[in-house]
Structure 1
């Protein structure tokens, strides 16, 4: 079974349990065979045509992956199975082995969802054309082949850990106390290896991978999913907290007071570190990143490139401009030396390195990188996202606007962005202005329109 609604802008994602199932193991088998055709893989005696595959801790992931692998091997193509993995571990595997990658995960979605993230060899992004072609081939009932492909298991967690440590200078840092909330997701699998040789006290929360998510949903964009880590930071007097999403490609940072560090602030902070290594390099941001990032990058001699929201767009922009770093307001952080892919763990290590090489607390360190107030992402469930955006556009008709990524309205020192989710039936609102009061006024003005229209 494969409902067409599972094909999203950047990946596949849909319900796999409950009364409204949208795809299943048989659908996964067809996807595996069709993906081989999309990539033009033919197998071959030299083993050059292979895929590397991993899966997260969701209860349905092993079954779906196994079915997908059956479809791949039926086409005579070999598979390297890295087993349980975070998404950034799969990106690493694709780069390290120079093979196309397939990751079974639904990221931050609830446990009754599952999905697939794809990449080309070297962790390069797939395009919308790849996914459109995949959907067309599956709709045509692409038959599977007669077999012949093999499956080889390979543990790449040690190599992933070594590569991360080669990219960040953690030598000589002061001993830090770090709270890490894995949310019963894949960070619980990678944290022990990554922290094994770091002189830090690690206080783990919900580090047992469990796809039923018994403690809280694996979505750090929602404030209620941050409170346990915030509380633990205060109770333990920790230097910082890390909160990962379900597949651990995103990481939210919490300072020593238990306050969330704005992801745009962290983008500016890491960009500054990377630009000291390579003055004049490009840094990629998206349309809802704080304008403070562009200001700070310019002050430090770097170049800003603005991309649409989404990992496929960010990675493509990084490749085009040979950018050293990229950051999204959703806490995805991309590194050229990590095959331009996003990794929450590397962002966490960069933060620890910066903090550990000085005596000031994190709240003080980030002050110079915070220049505007922000609303954070506010989600509204609406029946007609386009009508809502049109209504807001009409309300702000006398202001500069564009539709490059949803609707962005700009004032002299503020902006508002409304963007439909790529993966869920939601309209996402972000607001930035010089003061909290101005943010609240703009937020309430827009939400009143959205919720009246929706």
Structure 2
């Protein structure tokens, strides 16, 4: 029996092809997913990676073997797959490894209405059934084999998003868009066409080998081309998408990166104008400016753990109108509680285009505090290191602190906080720091370095 534990991660399937998995495994996953979901139909899409077409077709074959009719939408962004799942009311599977290097591929699953996997249809259940069937194949199905039909949903996806944020009537804007050779090269032209926008494209050619730079805008190194082009052409802003285009990152007219927390606050405030008093979700390492601005706008802020499964669960439980994470994932009730970088980008364009000032001025009111880029430590025992930090923190910082042990350890004092948590996807401890001043941020990180580094692996 195959051991698939190396490719099943906290939120999705992801691994090196063909070393860790291949089309035969993809077919098993399709059969297991369709069986567990009891699906009469499944929607399947894929990104531009060289292995994605073949592996997604194999998945579709597996799903059809268990009686599910497959709607194969081909090339799409992850939020394009969520759109298809929501609008067609089908469970879905998106073949992508997001920002990972070209040798990787993966699957992001959802249930009908873009809902996260849960209960008897969990990642763990899909893994277990696929492993069980790996030796002799699935048992004979009593259902007729399903059909696989191709369908293009790009135009419907673009029309849906454009109807949510109307850009007609805004002042003309020049925007540089870096697609990173990822799926935004397909979606941006469809969504932003015929609008008062002068779009300057960077790396719109679909190429899953990522010849220009990794499609991971969370790394500042991968924003350098965007920053240079914004400055070169005098653009009003720049937008970068990750490989599967479900996250967007923004730089202002100076080429300075806008913190995703500030975008959370901006979109939350705009959402609350449309839905007064609504609930807004934010994760525990988002800037404390976010709940402050939500409250000031008359909304109800609800804090949750890091990770899309936790945010989506809270969105559903509370009926929240919007949710945001520090990692540039933005979730919308009107988008089936799923995350979409494109809809977030439209909100930024509308907010900038309906007033006359530059983006740096607009965003200044949403960036109230200072933060450092996330620091990662590779340690042998994350739990032991967190316990050590907790036991020594009060003495090390020489001022009153409070502790919270939800998703790692959060230590808070007057004017600053930090969170140290195990990664859900890698063998790392992640440190996030925010304070009233940049100097204080650096001091806190230096203190944590002294505590954590002796235990580094």
Partner residue, 1:210: 207
Q: Deviations over 1:280-330 (max 9, x none)?
A: 000000011111010111111100111111111111111111111111000
Q: TM-score, normalised by structure 2?
A: 0.94
Partner residue, 1:44: none
Instruction: Confirm whether residue 91 of structure 1 aligns to residue 91 of structure 2.
Output: no
Q: Distance in 1 between matches of 2:285 and 2:432?
A: 7
Partner residue, 2:223: 226
Shifted more, 82-91 versus 108-117: the winner is 108-117
Partner residue, 1:102: 93
1:2 Cα shift?
A: 5.2
Partner residue, 1:446: 448
Shifted more, 165-174 versus 125-134: the winner is 125-134
1:193 Cα shift?
A: 0.5
**Which residue, out of 401, 404, 411, partners 1:402?**
404
Q: Distance in 1 between matches of 2:301 and 2:367?
A: 18
Instruction: Confirm whether residue 113 of structure 1 aligns to residue 113 of structure 2.
Output: no
1:419 Cα shift?
A: 2.4
Contact 2:4 2:131 in 1 (8 A): no
**Which residue, out of 144, 157, 160, partners 1:160?**
157
**Which residue, out of 269, 273, 278, partners 1:272?**
269
Partner residue, 1:37: 35
Q: Distance in 1 between matches of 2:226 and 2:378?
A: 27
Partner residue, 1:46: none
Q: Distance in 2 between matches of 1:420 and 1:354?
A: 36
Name the SS for the 2:188 alignment partner. helix
Q: Deviations over 1:349-383 (max 9, x none)?
A: 10000000110000000111111101122223333
Contact 2:168 2:196 in 1 (8 A): no
Name the SS for the 1:139 alignment partner. helix
1:26 Cα shift?
A: 1.3
**Which residue, out of 111, 122, 125, partners 2:113?**
122
1:227 Cα shift?
A: 0.9
Contact 2:31 2:59 in 1 (8 A): yes
Partner residue, 1:245: 242
Contact 2:154 2:187 in 1 (8 A): yes
**Which residue, out of 126, 132, 135, partners 2:124?**
132
Q: Distance in 2 between matches of 1:274 and 1:122?
A: 21
Shifted more, 157-166 versus 139-148: the winner is 139-148
Partner residue, 1:28: 26
Q: Distance in 1 between matches of 2:98 and 2:391?
A: 35
Q: Distance in 1 between matches of 2:229 and 2:377?
A: 30
Q: Deviations over 1:28-71 (max 9, x none)?
A: 11111111122123xxxxxxx10001001111111211221121
Give runs of aligned pairs for residues 339-354 of structure 1, distance below 5 A: 339-354=336-351
Contact 2:377 2:429 in 1 (8 A): yes
Give runs of aligned pairs for residues 327-406 of structure 1, distance below 5 A: 327-397=324-394, 399-406=401-408
Partner residue, 1:192: 189
Q: Deviations over 1:171-196 (max 9, x none)?
A: 21111000101111111110110111
Partner residue, 1:6: 7
Contact 1:2 1:24 in 2 (8 A): no
Partner residue, 2:433: 431
1:128 Cα shift?
A: 7.1
Partner residue, 2:168: 171
**Which residue, out of 29, 53, 61, partners 1:62?**
53
Contact 1:10 1:128 in 2 (8 A): no
Q: Deviations over 1:103-135 (max 9, x none)?
A: 011111111111111111111111376111112
1:16 Cα shift?
A: 1.6
Contact 2:236 2:252 in 1 (8 A): yes
Contact 1:183 1:215 in 2 (8 A): yes
Q: 1:424 to 1:59 in 2, by over 3 A?
A: farther
CA RMSD of aligned residues (A): 1.5
Contact 1:391 1:453 in 2 (8 A): no
Contact 2:4 2:127 in 1 (8 A): no
Q: Deviations over 1:216-270 (max 9, x none)?
A: 1111111101111011111111000001111110001100010000111111011
Q: Distance in 1 between matches of 2:64 and 2:269?
A: 45
Shifted more, 152-161 versus 305-314: the winner is 305-314
1:198 Cα shift?
A: 1.3
Contact 1:184 1:213 in 2 (8 A): yes
1:207 Cα shift?
A: 0.9
